[in-house]
Amino acid sequence: MPWFQLRVNGSLHNVNVDANMPLLWVLRDVLKLKGTKFGCGVAQCGACTVHLNGRAVRSCATPAGLASGSEITTIEGLSPDGSHPVQKAWIELGVPQCGYCQPGQIMSASALLAANPQPDDEQIDSAMSGNICRCGTYPRIRAAIHKAAESKAS
Amino acid sequence: MSVATKITRRDFLRQTGVGTGALVFGCYISPKGLFAEDIFHQSVALNSFVRIEPLHGTIIIMANRSEMGQGIRSSLAAVLADELEADWSRVEVRQADAEADKYVVPNPVPGAHPTFLISDEGSQFADSSRSMAAYYLPMRLFGAGIRVVLVGAAARVFGIDPAQCEARQHKVWRKDGKGIVRSLDYGDPLLLLAAKKVAAPTPDEARAALKPSKQWNFIGKEMPFVDVRDMVTGKAGYGADADPGRPGMLTAMIVRCPVANGTVKNFDDKAARAVPGVKDVRKVLPDGFPIVGGVGGAFIPHAGVAVVAENTWAALQGRRALKVEWDLTQSPAAIANAKYESKAYRKELEASTASAGNKLRSRGDVDAAFALPHQVVEASYYVPHLAQAPMEPPVAVALYENGRWEIWCPTQGPDVAQHYVGLAMLYPKDPVAWLVWQVSELTEVKPWEQAAQQSFNEQLGKMLGLDQTALFKRRDELKQEVRDKVKVHVTLLGGGFGRKSKPDYAVEAAFLATQQPGVPIRVQWTREDDIQFSYYNAVNHQYLKAAIDAGGKATALLQRSAFTSFFATLFPPADPRLPTAANETFRLARAAFHSGGEYPFGSGIELGQGLEDMPFDLENLRLENCAAPSHIRVGWMRSVANIYHAFSICSFADELAIAAGRDGKDYLLELIGKGRILDLATLKAEGLENFDNNQFPVDPLMAQLSSGKSVQVLPGYPPDTGRLRAVVERVAQAAGWDEKVKQYKQQPKGRGLGIAAHRSFLAYVAMVIDASLADNVLTIHEIHAAIDCGIAVNPDRVRRRWRGASSMA
């Protein structure tokens, strides 16, 4: 198996795994970064969302080999202390219920706001449509994204 | 249960509530010296649920229920902390392991049956929407009782009468404000040492100390919840995140038999073993594992073959390469289950409801009413199997070492997991152990289950040649052995919805761990596994028929419901291969267990969810339950049998309104009739011997409403149609029903309102949906909901869950 390098949350890791292994399992099983969640394994639920060079991707369907050379950000690296505007908005509005999908939701939301600092409802719904929440926290997710957008603007 | 069953009500506060000061504090504070080491280094247990860290005074509250998004870790702690006058920022919530002897709470209601609030392993079982309803009062009594002890302790330190002290904001204060020291913090070692000399309050004294509702700090307020920060930073620990602190954890993926009760014939693991990272391939269940339950074997896993690997990806790849052949001929159950096909089964259920079933409730004469020249309306309703599909698929970590098992898993039933892991590991060849577990004191079961329980106890004793004393001794030893040898740690649940009350995945992990001592093994399910091997909510078919007279009034209703009972999963139907005595024993065990009823009919606790308690006020009424044999594992999902019963009866009410040419909301209110209580005597007069919706005896305090008013709760929770009416009226008003109905009538067809009202467990709910249909696209514009759940401890959490549940539906 080849050794290759992954840059995760600013740190460089040498990993020795099958290059086809999805990034999700490298993060969880090899690097022990367990904030990124497994939900479906086929890029249909969004629980495993991370950033690749700032763009939201589904780590369960991204071969680790392809992520080599990119800047990978996981929920652990979004902010050192939960102070990212999206995290703060999530806490303030108490978005999570069971919480399992929320790291993925937050990674999608933060990527959206980075690209579009003032999204409207439709843009939010479209950007977030790949992130499923079985507890149904959608209305609060949308409200929290607006809130984070406001706090970023001010 | 051996420890807990010996507790009497007198011990309520000592065992699970506030200690008799000396006894409880004495255990933890060394009497040798004022400043004994342990005061500074150990937290002080005030009872099973509460500890205080000396000096900094952090109050640690144990969560005995599992967190799956309902907010229970925060809400129950807040109830206790409120009565204790704790500072919420100094409260820490910790998750309890499975420990029934700590968390079985004697019933605080005098003379109540059963004598335990929720007995045995139900004590930690987060199910039936009852965590808050059951533990609200005990948590308040614990908090108030501990406050009384701390006030008494401060009075000793101050040298004044306790009446001159008051607890406020984590301190006990002198009311007179005199002296150099005017208050003592809860963490003050002087206070904690003095507390050991204070006699614990009796339950009645604790009750007398309960705060009036206007002094509540947390109850009824919008409280933040304790896990939110961890959840948004990725630190929150779910099942797959569990780390037993050992190197070399392996991951297993399992190929499971697609048919319940099927077995492994053989498998070819050559290709699987060739996958890099794959360490082993092996069967999950040992050969000859006994029949321990009904369809699918209760909470025992399906037969399967596991691929054990260094990481999840290797396990997945290995599983893809594995070839397994199944044997579906080894038992009558497997043969029947292999033929199961849900489309054909739907026809079977339709046929079942086409003729009379078991009569549950009846008044007047529906047949005579149907013979009159009235308008007759008929409808059928079908709800398929529903998979809970929590975001986090089932997963469990197990470690086996020196004859003991340690499990980490997201489970709704920590001690249910302990029970199944324990029996499956310790008695894999002994089905009798599974029956001995069902032996129960009569004080632990509901009054109407007592006769069946007693017969079961006697029958089993006879079968085993044991007298009752010896039988109970054997049961106690068995339970103690399981509790000694199996430790279950509860992680956060990434959603449960009923799926995670069945610990089959924990049992899989335990079986695999047993084969590799010292190595932690994680069994990871995929989404496909989760959907295919759910314990589905019952498939249901109903037939309803009503008569409407010339004036538009409904005069008669017949409702027949056929659903696959989850008791078919727990207890086997009669098996011709077993001796008569064994079949009879199983039958009795089933009947005694939560009103389990007769196969293939529904159990009491399913029938009590929206069928037997049908609230409509009709002259002629007949409710029937029709047969529905099970061929697939059945479990429960969220509101369980309420799902299909609310769906049918509320839809049918609308059909009747249309047939009568009436407004949907007005007609629904007319069907419900005037506010009245369907008390047990009324239900009995209509042929319903026992009404059991899986709740527990309750204290009148429970029914204090958020408005400050109290309503009395009667034994058995009879439906109160006044409360049902009230939510209908409230939701219609909030939705602007009357105006919108008028408005939509003037518009082209395609938009309208629907209304439904139901009592689910103990909450009365009504909803209005404003929807339109255009070009085959259904759009929901608005949903309005009214809920009367008694006190909403955290109203915001109720609102959120309700919104979420609406999205899910």
Chain A interface test: which of B250, B312, B391, B532 (most A C-beta within 10 Å): B391
- Boundary (domain end) residue, out of B195, B225, B255: B225
- Boundary (domain end) residue, out of B198, B225, B252: B225
Block residue for tokens 């599909």:
B389
Task: Tell me, yes or no, whether B188 and B138 share the same domain.
Answer: yes
Minimal Cα distance from A77: which residue of B? B233
Chain B interface test: which of A9, A37, A38 (most B C-beta within 10 Å): A38
Chain centroid, CA A57 distance in Å? 7
**A51 in any annotated domain:** yes
**A128 in any annotated domain:** yes
**B483 in any annotated domain:** yes
Chain centroid, CA A66 distance in Å? 17
Task: Tell me, yes or no, whether B733 and B798 share the same domain.
Answer: yes
Task: Tell me, yes or no, whether B218 and B99 share the same domain.
Answer: yes
d(CA B60, CA B93): 6
Number of domains chain B is built from: 3
Residues in B closer than 8 angstroms to A36, CB to CB, are 234
CB contact under 8 A, A134 and B235: no
**B517 in any annotated domain:** yes
Which among A1, A78, A97 has CB closest to B276? A1
Minimal Cα distance from B526: which residue of A? A40
Q: What is the tens place of the pLDDT at every residue in B457-490? A: 999 999 999 999 999 999 999 999 999 999 999 9
Contact B152, B195 (CB under 8 A): yes
* pLDDT value of residue B129: 87
Buried b / exposed e along B352-381 (16+ C-beta atoms within 10 A): bbeeebeebbbebebeebbeeebeebeebb
**B668 in any annotated domain:** no
Task: Tell me, yes or no, whether B279 and B401 share the same domain.
Answer: yes
B246: distance to nearest CA of chain A, Å? 13
CB contact under 8 A, A101 and B233: no
Which among B313, B389, B806 has CB closest to A25? B313
Side chain identity at residue B133, one-letter code: A
Chain A interface test: which of B231, B386, B780 (most A C-beta within 10 Å): B231
Which among B232, B236, B313 has CB closest to A91? B232
Task: Tell me, yes or no, whether B712 and B802 share the same domain.
Answer: yes
Which among B229, B240, B800 has CB closest to A38? B240
Chain B interface test: which of A83, A97, A107, A132 (most B C-beta within 10 Å): A97
Quick one: tokens of B531? 């959907």
Which among B251, B277, B800 has CB closest to A97? B800
- What one-character-per-residue DSSP string does B87-128 give? -GGGEEEEE--S-HHHH--B--STT-SSSBSS-GGGGG---T
Task: Tell me, yes or no, whether B724 and B800 share the same domain.
Answer: yes
Q: What angle do CA B460, B464, B466 make, to 5 degrees?
A: 90
Residues 6 or more apart in contact with residue B609 via CB below 8 angstroms: B639, B640, B641, B642, B645, B693, B694, B760, B761
Side chain identity at residue B46, one-letter code: L
B202: distance to nearest CA of chain A, Å? 38
CB contact under 8 A, A136 and B806: yes
* pLDDT value of residue B123: 80
Other residues' Cβ atoms within 10 Å of the Cβ of residue B753? 21
Query: How many separate helices (H) and strands (E) can be counted in chain B?
Result: 28, 24
Residues 6 or more apart in contact with residue B354 via CB below 8 angstroms: B543
A95: distance to nearest CA of chain B, Å? 8
**A80 in any annotated domain:** no
CB contact under 8 A, B240 and A34: yes
* pLDDT value of residue A131: 98
Task: Tell me, yes or no, whether B194 and B270 share the same domain.
Answer: no
Which residue segment(s) compose the domain that A101 sits in? 85-153
What is the maximum alpha-carbon separation in chain A?
Answer: 50
Chains A, B: CB contacts within 8 A come to 146
- Boundary (domain end) residue, out of A50, A75, A100: A75
Minimal Cα distance from A137: which residue of B? B804
* pLDDT value of residue B698: 61
Other residues' Cβ atoms within 10 Å of the Cβ of residue B488? 29
CB contact under 8 A, B276 and A99: no
Residues in A closer than 8 angstroms to B493, CB to CB, are 98
A83: distance to nearest CA of chain B, Å? 9
Query: How many separate helices (H) and strands (E) can be counted in chain A?
Result: 7, 5
Number of domains chain A is built from: 2
Block residue for tokens 């009590």:
B608
**A134 in any annotated domain:** yes
**A42 in any annotated domain:** yes
Quick one: tokens of B736? 């602007």
Residues in A closer than 8 angstroms to B229, CB to CB, are 82, 91
Residues in B closer than 8 angstroms to A99, CB to CB, are 69, 227-228, 230-232, 236, 492, 494
Chain B interface test: which of A88, A101, A134, A138 (most B C-beta within 10 Å): A134
Task: Tell me, yes or no, whether A89 and A71 share the same domain.
Answer: no
Chain centroid, CA B263 distance in Å? 31
Taking residues A106-126, what's their average pLDDT?
A: 98
Residue A81 has pLDDT above 80, yes or no: yes
Q: What is the CATH number of the domain that holds B703?
A: 3.30.365.10
Phi and psi angles of residue B252, each rounded to the nearest 5 degrees, phi first: -120, 140
CB contact under 8 A, A37 and B312: no
Q: Which of A20-34, A74-88, B675-689 has the lowest mean pLDDT?
A: B675-689
Which among A41, A99, A103 has CB closest to B526? A41
Which among A30, A37, A136 has CB closest to B311? A30
CB contact under 8 A, B231 and A96: yes
Phi and psi angles of residue B539, each rounded to the nearest 5 degrees, phi first: -80, 140
Task: Tell me, yes or no, whether A61 and A108 share the same domain.
Answer: no
Indicate the pairing of strand B250-256 with strand B91-95: unpaired
Minimal Cα distance from B522: which residue of A? A29
**B402 in any annotated domain:** yes
Q: What is the tens place of the pLDDT at every residue in B35-48? A: 344 444 456 777 78
Which residue segment(s) compose the domain that B727 sits in? 695-809
Contact B660, B670 (CB under 8 A): no
Residues 6 or more apart in contact with residue A129 via CB below 8 angstroms: none
Task: Tell me, yes or no, whether A142 and A91 share the same domain.
Answer: yes
Minimal Cα distance from A1: which residue of B? B276
d(CA A51, CA B447): 59
Chain centroid, CA B738 distance in Å? 38
**B368 in any annotated domain:** no
d(CA B436, CA B427): 12
Block residue for tokens 């086809």:
A20
Residues in B closer than 8 angstroms to A23, CB to CB, are none
End-to-end CA distance of chain B: 38
* pLDDT value of residue B43: 66
Task: Tell me, yes or no, whether B51 and B129 share the same domain.
Answer: yes
ipTM of the complex: 0.98
Quick one: tokens of B555? 């005069």
- Boundary (domain end) residue, out of A27, A48, A75: A75
Task: Tell me, yes or no, whether A104 and A64 share the same domain.
Answer: no
Which among A28, A38, A135 has CB closest to B69? A135
CB contact under 8 A, B241 and A34: yes
Q: What is the DSSP letter of A26?
A: I
Q: What is the CATH number of the domain that holds A103?
A: 1.10.150.120
**B743 in any annotated domain:** yes
Task: Tell me, yes or no, whether A7 and A70 share the same domain.
Answer: yes
A109: distance to nearest CA of chain B, Å? 12
* 3-class secondary structure, B569: helix
The closest alpha carbon to B302, from B339, B252, B257, B266, belongs to B257
Buried b / exposed e along B577-600 (16+ C-beta atoms within 10 A): eeeeebbbbbbbbbbbbbbbbebb
pLDDT under 70: residue ranges of chain B: 1-43, 109-113, 119, 290-292, 697-713
* 3-class secondary structure, B757: strand
d(CA B794, CA B222): 6
* pLDDT value of residue B3: 32
Task: Tell me, yes or no, whether B280 and B210 share the same domain.
Answer: no
The secondary structure element, H or E, covering residue B161 is none
The secondary structure element, H or E, covering residue B43 is none
Residues in A closer than 8 angstroms to B276, CB to CB, are 1, 18
The closest alpha carbon to B523, from B534, B513, B531, B533, belongs to B513
Q: Report H helices in B21-179.
A: 21-28, 37-41, 72-84, 100-103, 131-158
- Boundary (domain end) residue, out of B192, B225, B258: B225
Which among B233, B494, B803 has CB closest to A98? B494
**B72 in any annotated domain:** yes
Task: Tell me, yes or no, whether B293 and B211 share the same domain.
Answer: no
Indicate the pairing of strand B91-95 with strand B59-63: parallel
Contact B363, B686 (CB under 8 A): yes
- Boundary (domain end) residue, out of A51, A75, A99: A75
Q: Is B10 exposed, middle or buried (0-12, 13-18, 19+ CB in 10 A)?
A: exposed
**A112 in any annotated domain:** yes
Task: Tell me, yes or no, whether B84 and B193 share the same domain.
Answer: yes
pTM of the entire structure? 0.94
d(CA B423, CA B437): 9
Which among A94, A134, A138 has CB closest to B391? A134
The closest alpha carbon to B132, from B804, B702, B785, B802, belongs to B702
* pLDDT value of residue B691: 87
Residues in B closer than 8 angstroms to A108, CB to CB, are none
* pLDDT value of residue B700: 55
**B131 in any annotated domain:** yes
Task: Tell me, yes or no, whether A143 and A101 share the same domain.
Answer: yes
Task: Tell me, yes or no, whether B190 and B58 share the same domain.
Answer: yes
Residues 6 or more apart in contact with residue B245 via CB below 8 angstroms: none
d(CA A110, CA B261): 48
Task: Tell me, yes or no, whether A109 and A91 share the same domain.
Answer: yes
A154: distance to nearest CA of chain B, Å? 22
**A26 in any annotated domain:** yes
Phi and psi angles of residue B398, each rounded to the nearest 5 degrees, phi first: -135, 150
Task: Tell me, yes or no, whether A99 and A51 share the same domain.
Answer: no
Q: What is the CATH number of the domain that holds A40?
A: 3.10.20.30
